[in-house]
Structure 1
Amino acid sequence: MTAARTKNPVPDWIENPYPRIEHSLVSFPAKHILLVTINREKYMNCLPVEATIELGALWKWYDAEPELRCAVFTGTREYTAGGKAFCAGMDLKQRLDIIDTNEVAHDYPHGGFAGMSNRAGKKPIIVACNGHAHGGGFEAILNADVIFASPNSTFALPEVLRGVSALAGALPRAMLLFGNHRTMDLILTGRRMSVEEALNWGLVKEIVPQDKLLDRAVTYAVEIAEKSPDSVIISRLAAREAWETGVSRATMRGQELWAEAMLRIKNTAEGLAAYREKRDPKWLPSYL
């Protein structure tokens, strides 16, 4: 499978057009799959405020589009192949201009940096990290669902080197994922974590050669899209309750919010019938 890396026409199975996007590319490399590519290669794919607002709107559209089941998020490939960035974080030059001119910055979407760092959402986002994920770029993918990374990828929260702090969601998520001492090591020094270290820490699922990375992420997304879309949404949300409430409370809320509803969903009946009849299920679009 060769994943598209340029903007292509919206396929006829998409019900509603996606929001206007200027700083990223949108494509559909396979049925039910959304591919979003940050397209600021000259700036190491850093994101100005406007790009984050765009992505926030795009992820909301993705969650609401019934036929979309999984998304892949990456950076412009041609530039990052030389060892540059998946996303170098916030556009710091723009941020300094905002401070110098005393202008009021646009509010970030509820999803945070890149529309992702504090996103709850309904549907999974798979990251194909093809270079440095620093600052806001790291904050965004810390909240991704699954991460594939190329050998040249590095991860860092260098905010202490710039006189700021990683307040877009990374600090509590890193603490939950890595524990106290590993997190402190990262955030108090601003050092870079290698991709091998990220794999060892459980952040990265696989290290994939640069020329195969995007296809691997899309193939994995297709694997998810072949499952019941309702089951994927509910399972993901029930598991992610722990981000917000802690494990014991999340266990109860998963049953409170979804257990009875799942039994009434048409895809549940279809999945069980397919099992009984020894055939492949024919999943319906999800309108959860």
Structure 2
Amino acid sequence: MASLSTLLLRGPTLLRCCPRLFAARTYAAGGDFKYIITEKKGKNNNVGLVQLNRPKALNALFQPLIEEVNQALTVFQEDPSIGAIVLTGTEKAFAAGADIKEMSDKTFQSCYSGKFLKDWDSVTQLKKPIIAAVNGYALGGGCELAMMCDIIYAGENAQFGQPEILLGTIPGAGGTQRLTRVVGKSLAMEMILTGDRISAQEAKQAGLVSKIFPVEKLVEEAVRCAEKIASNSKLVTQMAKESVNAAFETTLAEGVRLEKKLFYCTFATDDRKEGMSAFVEKRKANFKDN
């Protein structure tokens, strides 16, 4: 949740972005944004791209940026042509944490009565799959935001951490819970109690990251994965996502029961019929998302 940008760098620093991938137009249906860039990607324009765009602040998270991210994700969720979404930052930082300037003067009363951070986990409510493409720093809230996504791809320079303890506080957007579920108690406890960061390679070994790519190839590879996901039935994909998420939120018996119900539900879809028919007929399935 906390930002280490003031500890990592002194003075303003302009961050370098990959011009080929990020010289993108604002996605018209998503409106004009100040702190993010949105675009449709992929050969069939079926992937939504959301790029955090506060380079001078290392993409530090604060309420206006979170509101724009939630707005963009809602637009992509409601767009029937979009099958998956990629969330990324810059080559220097995915997000270096929450903006300390926004938090420094808050009190217990203002946090509690105002429900501070209440909408920061809206990412987890999205039905469509989200891939976090993490280059550079993913610290505090940045690490928490990445963990809210369904898949994490990392650039070779990625660093993950929950350094809130160094600022006299603890993670507040799910860090203690999601990190522990993913990497286990020992590593999560060490990271949270010391504030130490782990590399992309360590994150992959711990199961936090799915794959690692060269920095300049990361977003391209994330979009490629998103395209593959988007080529399947969007309806059934959402069922699969719901079932996998249940593994983290329910008991094994409850999760298996939900999986069985959702499996049965696929037999009420035209896409299940098409998928199996295509397999038998040895052709590519033509899903209609119904």
After TM superposition, the score normalised by the length of structure 2 is 0.84
| Matching residue within 157, 160, 182 for 1:155 | 160
Per-residue CA deviation, residues 255-275 of structure 1 (Å, 9 max, x unaligned), is 23x233211112112212222
Aligned to 2:33, the other structure's residue is in SS state coil
Which amino acid is the alignment partner of residue 56 of structure 2?
K
Q: Are residues 107 and 21 of structure 1, via their aligned partners in 2, closer, same or farther at CA, if it must alter by over 3 Å?
A: farther
> Gaps spanning 5+ residues in structure 1: where?
12-16
| Matching residue within 188, 197, 205 for 2:193 | 188
For the 8 Å contact 1:49–1:106, the answer to whether it is kept is no
> Gaps spanning 5+ residues in structure 2: where?
1-18
Runs of 4+ in 1 over 6 A off after TM superposition: none
Which amino acid is the alignment partner of residue 63 of structure 1?
Q
* Comparing 36-45 and 194-203, the one that deviates more: 194-203
The residue aligned with 1:14 is none
Q: CA deviation at 1:98?
A: 4.6
For the 8 Å contact 1:19–1:61, the answer to whether it is kept is no
- Please give the alpha-carbon distance, in whole angstroms, between the structure 2 residues aligned to 1:36 and 1:3: 15
- Please give the alpha-carbon distance, in whole angstroms, between the structure 2 residues aligned to 1:246 and 1:176: 13
Aligned to 1:71, the other structure's residue is in SS state strand
Which amino acid is the alignment partner of residue 44 of structure 1?
L
2:277 equivalent to 1:269: no
Which amino acid is the alignment partner of residue 288 of structure 2?
L
The residue aligned with 2:126 is 121
Q: CA deviation at 1:110?
A: 4.2
- Please give the alpha-carbon distance, in whole angstroms, between the structure 2 residues aligned to 1:69 and 1:40: 27
The residue aligned with 1:204 is 209
For the 8 Å contact 2:50–2:85, the answer to whether it is kept is yes
2:11 equivalent to 1:22: no
* Identity across matched positions, percent: 29
The residue aligned with 2:142 is 137
Which amino acid is the alignment partner of residue 6 of structure 1?
A
The residue aligned with 1:93 is 101
| Matching residue within 45, 64, 68 for 1:54 | 68
Q: CA deviation at 1:248?
A: 2.3
The residue aligned with 2:228 is 223
- Please give the alpha-carbon distance, in whole angstroms, between the structure 1 residues aligned to 2:228 and 2:23: 22
Q: How many residues align?
A: 269
Q: Are residues 265 and 110 of structure 1, via their aligned partners in 2, closer, same or farther at CA, if it must alter by over 3 Å?
A: farther
- Please give the alpha-carbon distance, in whole angstroms, between the structure 1 residues aligned to 2:144 and 2:57: 18
Which amino acid is the alignment partner of residue 104 of structure 2?
L
For the 8 Å contact 2:27–2:38, the answer to whether it is kept is no
Which amino acid is the alignment partner of residue 22 of structure 2?
R
- Please give the alpha-carbon distance, in whole angstroms, between the structure 2 residues aligned to 1:48 and 1:275: 48
| Matching residue within 45, 57, 62 for 1:43 | 57
Q: Are residues 246 and 167 of structure 1, via their aligned partners in 2, closer, same or farther at CA, if it must alter by over 3 Å?
A: farther
Which amino acid is the alignment partner of residue 234 of structure 1?
M
For the 8 Å contact 1:26–1:36, the answer to whether it is kept is yes
Q: Are residues 4 and 266 of structure 1, via their aligned partners in 2, closer, same or farther at CA, if it must alter by over 3 Å?
A: farther
The residue aligned with 2:178 is 173
Which amino acid is the alignment partner of residue 87 of structure 1?
A
Aligned alpha-carbon RMSD (Å): 2.5
Which amino acid is the alignment partner of residue 263 of structure 1?
F
Which amino acid is the alignment partner of residue 171 of structure 2?
A
Per-residue CA deviation, residues 156-182 of structure 1 (Å, 9 max, x unaligned), is 100111122112112111121122111
For the 8 Å contact 1:3–1:215, the answer to whether it is kept is no
